[in-house]
Amino acid sequence: MSSSSNLQLTKDGELRHFLTPEGLDRLMLERILDTADSFVVVGNQEIKKVPLLRGRTVVNLFFENSTRTRSTFELAAKRLSADVLTLDIKTSATSKGESLLDTLQNLRAMHSDMFVVRHSDSGAAHFIAEQVTPNVAIINAGDGRHAHPTQAMLDMLTIRRHKGHFEPLSVAIVGDISHSRVARDQIHALKILGCKDIRLVGPNTLMPQGIENMGVSTHNNMDSGISGTDVIIMLRLQTERMASAFLPSAGEYFRLYGLTTARLAQAKPDAIVMHPGPINRGIEIESAVADGPQSMILNQVGYGIALRMAVMSMAMSGQMQQRQAQANQTSSLSGEKKA
């Protein structure tokens, strides 16, 4: 996708919304990772603040439940010195029947600069960025089963910090691929960053048809699927998005696809284990692995703050440039009229 036709970018190719890594180029993803790297240290400082979003208003709009994503977005905005409002949808006017569009227009009228949106409808964040509030930076915090770009990019940050370059790595994504917005964006990001061996492991009932067209391999057998891999990413069964039963039982699923210490031995000895959370112990992962030395699960949470600081600061700066360019255009047009 060229920069001029990508809704996420300004005319000059700067990030102004972050909706999915799909359509962004390698340079942009690397810039996001480099910026995030520079923010990891902020979390280790005594005073965990930088002034990049001082005077800006960020509204967190979570129409779907979240623990990690919501709290790390809030912390990220605070560490960037923004004024942050986290709207509790259950007690807001949306629950009294106000439409999403009306809620957003009211928030825009309060001069909000950025909306962080999680919604159960695929395409919600894209729709808002395109049709509703194009001059407010929109960050997609997960839309239906479509995309979860900040999760995918914090996973890339984890991989890059612990494994280095993407080209030689073998990465297995295991479990409920069909219903996972995380898996979709991870595949896009891994491919853009140059990873050649991306393996999707899981039962056929949880494997989207035609997924091989994305340049990945599919495996129904867990042991051979994770054999010799550098990175294993486990996924949660997204039962809330399953219309009917896709599996015989949780016990059977664990027997076939659960990551145990014995299974982990099939991967490279220094392989890392990741999971976007929430984890279900004894269903997709054994406690000994989740809490073991190869687990990156808690590191991912910390990197999530740095990564979210990076996309928020980059999108805000792109959005400001765009607004300035529009203001210059309007004033030169009104100058022409007067002359």
Residues in the site for ligand ASP, rule: CB under 6 A? 69, 142, 148, 151, 181-182, 236, 276-277
Residue 166 carries which DSSP code?
S
Residue 4 carries which DSSP code?
G
CA angle, corner 206, sides to 209 and 67, nearest 5? Answer: 125
What HEC string does 173-230 produce? EECCCCCCHHHHHHHHHHHHCCCCEEEEECCHHHCCCCHHHHCCEEECCHHHHHCCCC
Any residues with CB less than 8 A from the CB of 45 and at least 6 apart, and which? none
Please name every residue paired with 61 in a beta bridge, in sequence order, or none if there are none: 87, 117
Q: How far apart are the first and last CA of the chain?
A: 40
**Rounded CA gap, 92 and 94, in Å?**
5
**Rounded CA gap, 301 and 151, in Å?**
10
**Rounded CA gap, 84 and 51, in Å?**
14
- 3-class DSSP state of 334: helix
| Joined tokens for residue 333 | 């047009």
The residue whose Cβ lies closest to ligand ASP is 236
- 3-class DSSP state of 293: coil
Which of 151/170 has CB closer to ligand ASP? 151
**166 CB neighbour count, 10 Å cutoff:** 23
Which of 219/236 has CB closer to ligand ASP? 236
CB 20 within 8 A of CB 183: no
**Rounded to the nearest whole angstrom, what is the least distance from the CB of residue 192 to ligand ASP in the complex?**
20
| Joined tokens for residue 287 | 């406690």
Give phi and psi for 53, each to the nearest 5. -115, 25
